Structures are given as structure tokens and as C-alpha cells.
Amino acid sequence: MRTILTLGMRHMLMGTFLFSIGSLLIKLAGERIPTLEMLFVRGLVGIGFVWWLLRRTGVGMLGTRRVLLTIRGVVGFAALFAEFYAIIHLPLADATVILFTHPAVVALLAWAVLGERLGLRGLLAVGISLTGVAVVCRPAFLFGGGPSLLDPLAVTVALCGVGVTSLAILSVRALAKTEHPAVVMLYPPLIMTIVSPLLAQGWLWPTPLEWGYMLGIAAFMNAGQYYMTRGYAIESAARISAVTCLEIVFAAFWGASILGEIPDGWTVAGGLLIVAGTIALGRGEESGHTDGQPTPGTPTGV
């Protein structure tokens, strides 16, 4: 009997599931532990993970284009800070839905900055995804009435995170021409471990449970990135994009079952629009309608 899920799709499913657990642990640890403290631990574990990968390949750790790699590390640090902040201060499903729109922003930036062909189908898919963001956030200047129930500052940080994550993805694509993927992965955790203590205020000594949360964040997210990278290496964009959308489903499940956060109709509707736009972007790449378009959800190594 032919399996429904290919090997690449199974890798992607595992990676998406592990990332969702990491997001849940961010939410739990963030009830008391400062964001920069969590990022510091995430960075230390990330350095160890990348060192292990590089040791197996025999590639030098620091790469050749070190200035650009350092900039990529700073961008990756900013993207992860925004992601952690949004997850902590927004309902998990809402944060995941907003952050999941980065494929659309990557497509727009690649079109506007790099001159890559997007096509009518790609533009329509981007428009659908951005409409989904508006439905979830419900800004007053579009929808009228009272303010959204979502924290405006957290929404702003999440949207900034989408932009920074998109820049991180484009930087990965530029560096991939000359640098080993593991070298590109090294710089964000390296910057995290250096910068987080300098910016931190009010760090707390974690309880044993909180240590478990923070180590779990690092372990699950690094493992998730590993499986997602393997999935992207052997599977088509169209199939991958459909599997990555399950991250929103997982987030809604964890939020409802563990955190008591029940998504409202606006979140569901916006999430469906974003899923539709993401899948359309993936199918556009698969059929050649969006030449050069980055694969939706490409791991950024952050």
C-alpha cells in the first residue's frame, strides 16, 4: 500500500510538531522568566548543536563572509526576540497565525528588492495572506469600533518580527551560495549569548520546572529545525507548504487544551486565509509561476 505521507513530508510534520511544543514551552516559561534570559539559554544550546553538526562535516565554524554572517546573526537574534515576545504576550494561536505570514513578506521583498518574478498568482496569494493578518489583528482604522482584544504592543512586535524574519530568510539565501548551512545557523545563537546578558534586566534564577521549560525550548526548536531542513531538502514546495500549515493547528490545540485559550471566529477565519495564501505560494513555486520565489516557511536557523 502506498503511504500518504512521503519521507520529506514526515520529516516536515515532525519538525512542525516539535516547533509547536517549543512555542508552548515559551508561553509557559514566559509567565515569569524574562525573554532575554530564555534566549540566552536557547543560544547556548544552539551553539552546542551547531558545533556538533560542524564537527561531523569538518567545516570551519566561522565561515568566510564574516561581516555578512554577523549581520545575519543580529537579524536572527532580533527575529527570535520578536517571536518569543509575541508568543508570551498574545494567545498562542493568534501569535502563531501572525508570525506565519512571513512567506508572503519574503515573496514581496524578493520581488521588490531582488527583482524576482512573482506573477499574478503570487501577488494574489500574498494579498490573501495579508488579508488574513488584518482579520486576526482587526485594526480600528479598517474595522472601526473599539480596539482589538489583542495587546497592540505585542501585535506590533509580532508584525516587526515577521519583517525581520523575512530579512533573515533572504540573508540565508544570499549566504547559502558560499557558506555551509551549519555555519549560517551558528551566528544567531552566537549573537544571542553575547548580546542577551548586555541588554538583560531583572534576570531570575529559574525553578527546576522553569529550567526544564528553557532547556526544552532549545532542544525542541533545534530538533524541529533539523527535521524541517531535512524535509525541505527532499520534498517539493507545494507538499511542504501544506504540512507546515499544521503549525497553526497545533498551536490552537495546545492553547485550548493546556492554556485555556479558545480561538475566536476572527482568528479561525484569518488563519484559514493565511493557510490558503501559503499553500498557493507553494503551489506557485512548484508549477513555475513564481520563478525564484523562496519556499514558504523556509527554516531561517534562528
What DSSP assignment string belongs to 192-240? Answer: HHHHHHHH--S--PPPHHHHHHHHHHHHHHHHHHHHHHHHHHHS-HHHH
pTM: 0.84
Distances (CA, A) of 202 to 86, 133, 197: 20, 33, 11
Q: Which residue has the higher pLDDT, 97 or 291?
A: 97
pLDDT, position 84? 95
Determine the Cα–Cα distance for residues 41 and 263; give it in Å rounded to an integer.
30
pLDDT tens digit sequence for 135-161: 887 765 455 554 456 788 999 999 999
Residues in the chain: 302
> Is the per-residue pLDDT at 64 higher than 60?
yes
Determine the Cα–Cα distance for residues 158 and 279; give it in Å rounded to an integer.
22
Q: What values do phi and psi take at 2, rounded to 5?
A: -75, 130
Query: Span 23-33, mean pLDDT?
Result: 95
> Is the per-residue pLDDT at 118 higher than 90?
no
pLDDT, position 1? 38
> What 8-state DSSP symbol labels residue 178?
T
Domain ranges in the chain are 7-287
pLDDT tens digit sequence for 147-201: 456 788 999 999 999 999 888 888 877 787 788 878 888 899 999 999 999 988 8
Asked whether the beta carbons of 222 and 46 are under 8 A apart, the reply is yes
Q: What values do phi and psi take at 145, rounded to 5?
A: 75, -160
Q: Round the CA-based radius of gyration of the chain to a whole number and report it.
A: 19
Determine the Cα–Cα distance for residues 277 and 127; give it in Å rounded to an integer.
8
Determine the Cα–Cα distance for residues 108 and 290; give it in Å rounded to an integer.
11
> What 8-state DSSP symbol labels residue 30?
T
pLDDT, position 38? 94
Asked whether the beta carbons of 36 and 192 are under 8 A apart, the reply is no
Burial 60-86 (b: 16+ CB within 10 A, else e): eeebebeebbebbbbbbbbbbbbbbbb
